[in-house]
Structure 1
Amino acid sequence: MKVAIVHDWLVTYAGAEKVLEQIINLFPSADLYTLVDFLSDDSRGFIHNKQTKTTFIQNLPRASKNYRNYFPLFPYAIEQFDLSGYDLIISSSHCAAKGVLIGPDQLHICYCHSPVRYAWDLQHQYLAESGYKKGIKGGIVKYLLHRFRIWDNRTANGVDYFIANSNYIGRRIKKVYGRSSTTIYPNVAIEDFKLSSTKDTYYLTCSRMVPYKKNDLIVKAFSKMPDKKLIVIGDGPDFDKVKKASPSNVQLLGHQPFNILKDKMQNARAFVYAAEEDFGIVPVEAQACGTPVIAYAKGGLKETVIDGKTGVFFNEQSVSPLCEAIEKFENTSLLAPAEIRRHAIQFSTERFKHEFYEFVMAKWAEHQSILNGTSNK
């Protein structure tokens, strides 16, 4: 079979790209399509240094830095790919990739990282954080998101099977598209993290400095607990804002190389995370080090952290509940570090590759039997 893989965009190596990497490892001869590709020459190893097929957005002014500004053109652009020569199309989608045009004899499997968050249930949060809640610009953005929702919902019909990256996203797929899905958790490089049974006294958080990650909330909570030390790793638009709010017991390290991140994660007393995530790879990486997690009890983390065993939950994104969760953590006997790591192993790369390949090949066999007229369905 001839395979095409469609990914939203290639500009960095983050969670969605780690999934894409393993899909390519399973189907190394597949052709790769994407809206834009601005990976540097020395960062293309995870896509096997493939020459990608891109859209006209690649050549628009300042697209390398501001490709998201062309969001209204994504639906039209993704539909320009001619995939008629392929038997199997695998889309890795959190925006527009699933909207490619597919024929009735082709099989389309979508690994859905999430329906577009800022166009659906998180629209109001996005508008508030980006300053588009009111005014003429706000009205235009709201209309464009409305038009995108119509397209996004319609193109769900072109997907034969949805794979969700968590049960939480599976519920979002059902709500938005009216479609069922199969959950296959993303791959986490458990083998890159080593168990540390002895822990230091500091707490750790690590993420991009963007509003929904709630780094400022974590820093404010620790400002109420001056006897506890917090280390913050990460960079992004909110860095200066978080830095201004940081008391003396909070240390901001900015972006750090992997060896520093790993060392801090292995030795932290606990990892603190306040975001509502679709899945949340970093908290699983922390557990792979035997480090417990203090997390907001919503989204994918409710499936990866066991409250009272591998971590402690708090139920509201505000300072007092987080402080209470940290106090509760300090007075709770959780599983031993080795047991916490054992829990994390179920999210390994090998597990993902096995489950994903088995799913795709089973659906391919069903598809072939339908085309050959031998199906019982």
Structure 2
Amino acid sequence: MKIALVHDYLTQRGGAERVFELLCKRYPEADIFTSLYDPEKTINVGDRLVNTTYLQKIPGATKYFRLIAPLYFPAFRALDLQEYDLIISSSTSFAKAVKKRPDAKHICFCHNVTRFLWDTETYLREYSDYRYFAPLITKVFQAMRDIDLKYAQEPDIYIANSTTVAQRIQKIYGKPAIMVNYPIDTSNFIFSDTKDEYYLASARMISYKRLDVIVEAFNWLGWPLFISGDGPERKRLEAKALSNIKFLGHVSDSQRKDLFSKAKSVIVAALEDYGLVPVEANASGTPVIAYGAGGVLDTQIHGKTGVFFKRQTPESLQTALLESGGISWNYENIRNHAVNNFSEQVFFSKVERVIAQACI
């Protein structure tokens, strides 16, 4: 069976790209396709050929890839995938549009519906550089919705990473989705049942991550907090943070492992579609304190692997922090929860059952 692996664009390294990297490793004989490829800023695919679209020839496209949104659908439609029996796409937007042979199968790992089209206001708030062009961008995005709906019918099977995303796919695209929680490489995390006194937040510093809520809560409590990551919100957050809060910026993989394993808890204040950080924390034996909505409801057990807070406010987070302090955590059980439910082995056993059913 000849397999094609397709991803929206390989110009960054986020959760979606890490999942695609796992797919590339699992299917080493598969051919890789994407719209744009910047090997220095994305996943490592070794010496494998990455096939790109004509967009790759546009000067600056890999850097300003968000500015050419209307061009992606025709670029993916132009890819010739007629020789492939199985197409596995990894998409939050465009890759689901690829064409296949009538007898071939297309399985789409849909990380979300095309969010900038269906939640434009949040998208523009997150990427404030584009706010000045909001009237024009909004009109363009509205025109693209019909195209997105049309090409959303191309995949034969959707796989969603969470209940939340599966519900969105059904609501907006009218397509059922099989829910399979995405995995982490549990061997990449260090287990420790000895915790230091600091708390940890690890996230891109953009508005929807709600790091402002975390900073305000810890300003009031005075407890030590480390924040790893970078982004456009960093200066604003640093300006309001007191001396008990330390901004670490980008950290190496080895530093990140150590931070996760020794933290008293990892804090997540965003409404995440899925969210790998809580699972990574658990794989380190570390409990999570998270806003109780979205993907964490699929991955966390209140009182066993973490604590939920009900509102994205400093006061609600403070209540959860105090509750967490009264729990006698079993760090080994937290680690086992991650290994038993979110390992690559568990993930691919589910995925390959789906593929086998699709290809009968």
Q: Shorter-chain-normalised TM-score: which range? A: over 0.9
| Residue 23 of structure 2: aligned partner | 23
| Residue 275 of structure 1: aligned partner | 270
Which of residues 82, 85, 96 is equivalent to 2:83? 85
Runs (5+) with no aligned partner, structure 2: none
Q: Which moved more, 1:84-93 or 1:351-360?
A: 351-360
Letter in 2 for 1:238: E
Q: 1:69-128: per-residue Cα shift (whole Å, max 9, x none)?
A: 1112111211111111211111111110001123321211101111112221x3222234
Q: Offset of 1:216 from its aligned partner? A: 2.0
Letter in 2 for 1:289: S
Q: 1:181-207: per-residue Cα shift (whole Å, max 9, x none)?
A: 111111211112122112111111111
CA distance in 1, matches of 2:128, 2:274: 27
| Residue 239 of structure 2: aligned partner | 244
| Residue 198 of structure 1: aligned partner | 194
Is 2:359 the partner of 1:361? no
Letter in 2 for 1:103: R
The DSSP-based 3-state class of the residue aligned with 2:181 is coil
Which of residues 171, 186, 193 is equivalent to 2:167? 171
Letter in 1 for 2:232: P
The DSSP-based 3-state class of the residue aligned with 1:29 is coil
CA distance in 2, matches of 1:79, 1:64: 19
| Residue 124 of structure 1: aligned partner | 121
| Alignment length (residue pairs) | 359
Q: 1:40-75: per-residue Cα shift (whole Å, max 9, x none)?
A: 39x76x424221111122121321211111112111
Q: Offset of 1:150 from its aligned partner? A: 1.1
| Residue 181 of structure 2: aligned partner | 185
The DSSP-based 3-state class of the residue aligned with 1:158 is coil
| Residue 344 of structure 1: aligned partner | 338
Letter in 2 for 1:276: L
Q: Check 1:189–1:26 CA distance in 2 against 1; reply closer, same or farther (3 A cut).
A: closer
The DSSP-based 3-state class of the residue aligned with 2:201 is strand
1:67-146 matched pairs, under 5 angstroms: 67-120=65-118, 122-131=119-128, 137-146=133-142
| Residue 305 of structure 2: aligned partner | 310
The DSSP-based 3-state class of the residue aligned with 1:194 is coil
Is 2:218 the partner of 1:222? yes
Q: Offset of 1:144 from its aligned partner? A: 1.4
Q: Which moved more, 1:6-15 or 1:88-97?
A: 6-15
Q: Offset of 1:173 from its aligned partner? A: 0.7
| Residue 254 of structure 2: aligned partner | 259
The DSSP-based 3-state class of the residue aligned with 2:353 is helix
Is 2:32 the partner of 1:38? no
Runs (5+) with no aligned partner, structure 1: 366-377
Letter in 2 for 1:189: D
The answer to whether the Cα contact below 8 Å between 1:229 and 1:250 also exists between their aligned partners in 2 is yes
| Residue 330 of structure 1: aligned partner | 325
Q: Which moved more, 1:89-98 or 1:111-120?
A: 111-120
Q: What is the root-mean-square deviation of aligned Cα atoms in Å?
A: 1.8
Letter in 1 for 2:6: V
Q: What is the TM-score of this pair, normalised by structure 2?
A: 0.95
Identity %: 37
Q: Check 1:350–1:342 CA distance in 2 against 1; reply closer, same or farther (3 A cut).
A: same
Q: What is the TM-score of this pair, normalised by structure 1?
A: 0.91
Q: Offset of 1:260 from its aligned partner? A: 1.2
Which of the two has higher C-alpha Rg?
A: 1
Q: Offset of 1:129 from its aligned partner? A: 4.0
